[in-house]
Structure 1
Amino acid sequence: MKNVTQEEWEQLLSTDDNAYILDVRTQNEVDEGILPNSHNIDIYEGQGFIDKVNELDKSKSYYIYCRSGNRSGQAAQLMDQLGFETTYNLLGGFMEWDGEVTYQE
């Protein structure tokens, strides 16, 4: 796992053809907006989170965020333990994000 700033996050994403953006927040938080092209799996689902994450392609690069950067850091460490090759944690999370935000239907 590597902790990255928003600037590093955007720079890495712009050249990564193997990227998967993972939002580990709750549904209530997701309702406040999401980063473009992100997929939500709530880390508070516990074993459900692990089961869903284990279905993902471990060779992709995972860009993980939450509200503040804490839960996403935990998720990235857990994913590393599960055999994921590349994980990035967004420092400051969604609270400090000042880029584009979209909303789920």
Structure 2
Amino acid sequence: MNLSQNDWTKQLEEDNNSVVLDVRTQNEVNGGIIPNAIHIDIYKGQGFIDELNKLDKSKNYYVYCRSGGRSGQACAVMNQLGFENAFNLSGGILEWKGDVIHQ
């Protein structure tokens, strides 16, 4: 499900069963990541699916990439794998107004 920046942020703040998932490349993550996000690169192919399968499917996942395209694909894959709640950040981190940490 695609959520606007405001809806994604508001829902995330009120969700005590949430996980933030960054699906960008390592180089992109090196430029900054949303605090407390876990990183799994969607370009890992089968490795991406293997990593997803290790996650708790009962959690609510807030997924983002650079602009919203890859995270939309990731949400679709997650739905196919049995994740019921995967929320795509429309506009991605490019339009993110919240905190970003540099690792």
| TM-score calculated relative to the size of structure 1 | 0.96
- What is the alpha-carbon distance in structure 1 between the residues aligned to residue 40 and residue 25 of structure 2? 8
- What is the alpha-carbon distance in structure 1 between the residues aligned to residue 16 and residue 93 of structure 2? 23
> 1:15 maps to what in 2?
14
Q: Secondary structure at the match of 1:59?
A: coil
> 1:34 maps to what in 2?
33
Pairs within 5 Å for 1:87-102: 87-102=86-101
- What is the alpha-carbon distance in structure 2 between the residues aligned to residue 10 and residue 48 of structure 1? 28
How many pairs align?
Answer: 103
Displacement of 1:52 in angstroms is 0.4
Any stretches of 5+ residues in structure 1 without a counterpart? none
> 2:61 maps to what in 1?
62
> 1:76 maps to what in 2?
75
| TM-score calculated relative to the size of structure 2 | 0.98
> 2:3 maps to what in 1?
4
- What is the alpha-carbon distance in structure 2 between the residues aligned to residue 24 and residue 53 of structure 1? 11
Displacement of 1:26 in angstroms is 0.2
The share of aligned pairs that are identical, in percent, is 60
The amino acid of 1:64's aligned partner reads V
- What is the alpha-carbon distance in structure 1 between the residues aligned to residue 12 and residue 77 of structure 2? 21
Q: What RMSD in Å do the two structures reach over aligned CA positions?
A: 0.6
Displacement of 1:5 in angstroms is 1.0
- What is the alpha-carbon distance in structure 1 between the residues aligned to residue 63 and residue 9 of structure 2? 13
After TM superposition, the runs of 4+ consecutive aligned structure 1 residues lying more than 4 A away are: none
